Chains A and B, each alone.
Chain A
Amino acid sequence: MNEKTLNNENLLAEMLCISDTKWVLGHWYAKIILNGRTVPDFSSMAGMSQDELGHTRAMLNYLEQSQGLPEHQLEFGRGVEQVHNMELLDDAPKSWADFVVSVYLAENALWSMQEAYVEGSNRAVANLCKKFAEEGYFHRIYIEGWLAALEGDELAQATKSVHDRLAHARQWFTESTSDNLLGSGERTMSLAQCRDHFEQAVQKLSETLGIEMPASIESTQEWDFVRRRATGSRMPARLWEYVVPTSEVAEMARRPLAVSVKDNIDLFNEKKVKDETAPFFDQ
């Protein structure tokens, strides 16, 4: 396997970690819209959901083109065991405070990772990440506003949420022994530097809530560096059904695809043939 192929696969895996987390996060926002307390809350959460799902599709579309995959295969053609979403968002929020803390951690973890690509050598990925960052800025402002507005029992719930979820966000930045994306200049920061950047957001959270943050604990679970999750883990079936409905009625309502997903199940191991006539982002 030559280095170019290796980097393509590493880049694909890391971009899927970002886009799949945004995919689930967009569904979190969509589900929580009706918990908004005012009409501007509804609009804001609908807007954030739209942003996250838009980012996901833009990235998946780019990855499909760059990897020579048929369109929409990364959205509809993967099984749950091939999805790279962050474990932090696996469990549904247990309260409003838990929701606010969870999305704060997810948004900041995503931003800390994306930031490392904004000046990278892959200009298509850099431009996508820059656009994500511009829109994600308002997501973070919104969540910080809600954190500052928590009071009473909500603060205790937020503290519990931090203890339950922070470890998953920190673990997301676990480094492998070799970092080819840093070496090739596609990512300009190491994962340790991304993690340091994320820790600044954790410190800010600590100050806003007025609590001590739990210390990092090394996980004893075997880690899958490709999907950035514990090896063999996957999102709960109920969440997956919400993200990609597979009921008979839902499948009937889907827009037809140019190539059936049933023809392309093994996306990652089959030999990929690049369509030279397909439009492609400038590198």
Chain B
Amino acid sequence: MITKNYPTRKGTNYEVFARDNPERPLQHIGTVQAENEQLAIAHARFVYSERPWAELIIAPSDGFLDCLRTGKRGVIGIA
């Protein structure tokens, strides 16, 4: 069997949040993967362009701190 080592794209996952009205809370609308912040911002702008957002922000996925998660101490949902 022939295998090839194709170059893989280095990238970071970014979570994308948006609100379509300034009075509404931010909502998670998806993720993008990009090699740097500028590309991530542009990807978010072009991929999630289905609405004229009042605000569109991104954050690196590994920038979030676990509060509750399956397998960690604590209970998810209403105890």
Residues of chain A touching chain B, judged by Cβ–Cβ distance below 8 Å, are 37-38, 40-41, 43-44, 46-48, 138-139, 141-142, 144-146, 148-149
Contact = CB atoms under 8 A, between A and B. Distances in A.
28 contacts: A40-B34, A40-B46, A43-B47, A44-B46, A44-B47, A47-B45, A47-B46, A47-B49, A48-B46, A138-B41, A138-B45, A138-B46, A139-B42, A141-B38, A141-B42, A142-B39, A142-B43, A142-B46, A144-B38, A145-B34, A145-B36, A145-B37, A145-B38, A146-B39, A148-B35, A148-B36, A148-B38, A149-B36
A40 B47 contact: yes
Return the 8 tightest CB-CB contacts between A and B, nearest first. A145-B38, A145-B39, A142-B42, A47-B46, A40-B43, A44-B46, A149-B35, A138-B45
B18 interface: no
A41 B47 CA distance: 9
Contact of B39 (A43, A139, A149): A149
Contacts of A138: 41-42, 45-46
A38 B33 contact: yes
Interface of B: 9, 32-43, 45-47, 49
Contact of A43 (B34, B36, B37, B46): B46
B44 to A, nearest CB: 9
Nearest to B9: A37
A141 B47 contact: no
Residue with the highest number of chain B CB atoms closer than 10 Å, among A40, A44, A141, A142: A40
A266 B51 CA distance: 42
A25 to B, nearest CB: 16
A132 to B, nearest CB: 15
Residue with the highest number of chain A CB atoms closer than 10 Å, among B36, B45, B46, B47: B46
A139 B41 CA distance: 10
A145 B9 contact: no
Contacts of A38: 9, 33
A38 B10 CA distance: 12
A256 B30 CA distance: 42
A37 B10 CA distance: 11
Contacts of B40: 145
A142 B47 contact: no
Contacts of B37: 145
A43 B46 CA distance: 6
Given A44-B46, A47-B45, A47-B46, 10 more contacts: A37-B9, A40-B33, A40-B43, A43-B46, A138-B41, A141-B38, A141-B42, A145-B38, A145-B39, A145-B41
A43 B42 CA distance: 10
